[in-house]
Amino acid sequence: MAYVWPLALVVILVIAVADYYTGVLVTLSAFYIVPLFLVAWTRTRFETHLLILMIVGAWSCANYLSDAQHLSAGILIWNSFIRWLHLTMTAELVRYIRRLLTINSDLANIDVLTGIPNRRFFNYSMQHVLLFPPANKIVSFTLIDVDYFKVLNDAHGHQFGDEILKKVSQQLASECMKNEFCGRIGGDEFAIVLCCDDFVDSKNRIKRLAQRISENASPCSLGTSLVSTGQLLTEVFEQADKALYQTKSGGRGYATIFDGCHYHKAI
């Protein structure tokens, strides 16, 4: 958003010049809200208040120069104060609305317990990958299931179970690089999308992922599907789910990768 400040300053200058030439009979004050909105929405509070001072200065100078003989120092100061107050209140309202929208977006897209994307937002991101896959990369979709989570939860309590879920989420998030993402699908089931150079790279990363989750959080079973061009999201989920079933049937605690034809253990 580097263009915001230059654009805001140009708009203020244009409005101030127009305000000067049209005089006090034609007001253009409402247009000063445009640069204010741009900066208040995208930049910091300090930058917003700095811009407000610039707007008040340009506005007051334009009015004074266009009708200096009718404006005393007292009136100019009073008008400048009212303008500053009006613009400040407007800016704070804009920032408040932005905060509310950010909170609502987080509530809709982020899992409250773990802080990573929920299933809704994960599916949205996955649909984007299926439509626009990264070039020269193998995309892997992996389902992660915490082994015997219900037993652990019942034996040690829900708080203990919540801590396990948080640790798994933190580990998954730390594994994600550019164009990669993870999410909590529901309960003790998670998913992660990785972009690798080839099958060997994909297998090694998934193998390391299973090891790190087991070491830093809790033993987990993983099922991976290598995404093919033109696949539907339901197909990808189904293939990964079948790979996960292979892992659970084979003893748990590792990953199984489905390459479109065969299942491969990543141990």
| Residues near 7 by beta carbon (within 8 Å), at least 6 away in sequence | 35, 38
Residues 254 and 146 reside in one and the same domain: yes
Flag whether the pTM goes above 0.75: no
Residues 88 and 182 reside in one and the same domain: no
Quick one: DSSP state of residue 134? P
For residue 1, pLDDT beyond 80 = no
Query: Which of 66, 89, 109 finishes a domain?
Result: 109
Q: Which domain holds residue 243?
A: 119-266
Q: Which of 131, 127, 132 is nearest to 233 (CA)?
A: 127
Q: What is the CATH number of the domain that holds 192?
A: 3.30.70.270
Helix then strand then coil, % of the chain, to nearest 5: 65, 15, 20
Query: Which of 109, 133, 148 finishes a domain?
Result: 109
Q: What is the pLDDT of residue 69?
A: 64
Residues 90 and 163 reside in one and the same domain: no
**Within a domain: 67:** yes
Question: Within a 10 A sphere around the Cβ of 110, how many other Cβ atoms?
Answer: 17
Residues 133 and 61 reside in one and the same domain: no
**Within a domain: 114:** no
Residues 141 and 248 reside in one and the same domain: yes
pLDDT digits (tens, 9 = 90+) for 75-111: 888 888 999 999 999 999 999 999 888 777 777 789 9
Structure tokens at 50: 């700095």
Residues 16 and 73 reside in one and the same domain: yes
Residues 9 and 103 reside in one and the same domain: yes
Count of the separate structural domains present in the chain: 2
pLDDT digits (tens, 9 = 90+) for 125-161: 999 999 988 888 999 999 999 999 999 988 999 899 9
For residue 71, pLDDT beyond 80 = no
Residues 95 and 194 reside in one and the same domain: no
